[in-house]
Amino acid sequence: MNTRTVTAHIPVELAEAVDAAAARLERPRGWIVKQALQSWISLEERRHQMTLEGLRDIEEGRVHSHQEIKDWIASLERD
């Protein structure tokens, strides 16, 4: 796998948390950072897809009014 170095300035507290995780897991700091970035990218990609799905729902008229939602919540409270 090809790799590339990325440099970032991060708060001292975050750097210390990375160091602590690396020590606890007996892994290099780079491995901790790579795992964190992979996780964040995955979550961000999913968030973006969900946003696009929501926008398509709006464009296609798959929406509910505020009153419909309030009525639905009230029905849940009665049951």
Q: Distance (Å, rounded) from C-alpha 40 to C-alpha 7?
A: 17
- The structure tokens 């419909």 sit at 68
Torsion, Cα of 66, 71, 74, 79 (10° steps): -140
The reported pLDDT for the residue numbered 27 is 98
Per-residue pLDDT of the chain (79 residues; tens, 9 = 90+): 899 999 999 999 999 999 999 999 999 999 999 999 999 999 999 999 999 999 999 999 999 999 999 999 999 998 7
H or E stretch covering 18: helix 12-25
**What are 76's two structure tokens?**
């849940």
pTM to 2 decimal places:
0.75
The reported pLDDT for the residue numbered 47 is 98
Which residue in 22, 30, 28 sits closest to 6, CA to CA? 30
Q: CA–CA distance from 32 to each of 1, 41, 45 (Å)? A: 18, 14, 20
The reported pLDDT for the residue numbered 78 is 85
